[in-house]
Amino acid sequence: MIMQSKILVTGANGFIGRALCLKLLESGEDVTGVVRSCLNITDSIKVVRVSGIDEKTNWRNVLGGGVDVVVHLAARAHVLKDRAEGSALEYWRVNMHGTKNIAEQAAAAGVRRFVFLSTVKVSGEESPRGRSFTEDVVPYPEDDYARSKWKAEQALLELGGRTGMEIVIVRPPLVYGEGVKANFLSMMKWLHCGYPLPFGALDNKRSLVALDNLVDFIMLCIRHPAAAGETFFVSDGEDIAVRDLLASLSRALGVKMRLLPVPVFLLRAGAFCLGKSDVARRLCGSLRVDIGKAVRLLDWAPPVSQEIAFGKVADHFLRKDLND
């Protein structure tokens, strides 16, 4: 029998946080969600509002009452070509200093475990050809978002060693699921509209993680004794080429795919001329992670296949996103 824990989830009304809170509630856990807006997750989950997350945020009242585990999802999200004034400082203020602040106060409050959602980008933007990132690869973060997450990881591990609070770090690749936004949503819109896409020659492999699989893994990291002090990559366990991803989504959407076999060097050259080199790098490069450590140490396997996950996200798109 699994004893109930008192769990605090930051970023609880985000894409991942909302799904995690609902799943924790279903499993009988005592969940409190931290949000920065007044959006409701569900009437059954206690919600606490904070004005912001940085090195000055006072978490004393939020952490009071015997919180066992903090799952820290809240972050300044990565944006390609983020040119907003002060954006670099904002990554550090929220992702590094804000994380360190809540963790220090959590340790002082007697929190047993702190689960931190980091990013695959800590390891780099592209994995070596024919190989996957593993947890022992030397990190190579290339932008302020990734560097702020990497420094937060280091600060957490130092804090855990000093205070005894159990630290668990999770590095996901691109997360997709019902209600996904950004590039994944744009891809589905292109496919549904029948636009010809110049990606037929892309055979590079990328790791993805379905929202259901990520939530399942985070829940295991909350509970499993062997997760303490560890860093994990998580994915669907099925690396996929971009052209195969588009083909799978087309089938799930019930539309005919129109891919043009434009050579990769032409895609990169065209993107460079348009000032979209970062986009081309994501589309044309490989980014693979090895989940062997999670499988061996935690006896974890992704519960949802990509085929089923693609079907769910496509169904949600057809029911809701097209009408928004």
The active-site residue out of 140, 145, 176, 195 is: 145
Using DSSP's 3-state secondary structure scheme, residue 320 falls into: coil
- For 134-291, strand residue ranges (E) read 166-171, 174-176, 205-206, 208-210, 230-233, 240-241
* Pairing assessment for the beta strands 205-206 and 240-241 based on DSSP bridges: antiparallel
Angle between helices 306-319 and 211-223 (to 10 degrees): 120
- The question of whether 195 is a catalytic residue gets the answer no
What is the Rg, in whole angstroms, of the alpha carbon atoms belonging to the chain? Answer: 20
For residue 31, the surrounding DSSP H or E stretch is strand 30-35
| Order of all β-strands in the sheet with 113-117 | 46-49, 30-35, 6-10, 69-72, 113-117, 166-171, 230-233
* Pairing assessment for the beta strands 30-35 and 240-241 based on DSSP bridges: unpaired
Active site residues: 145
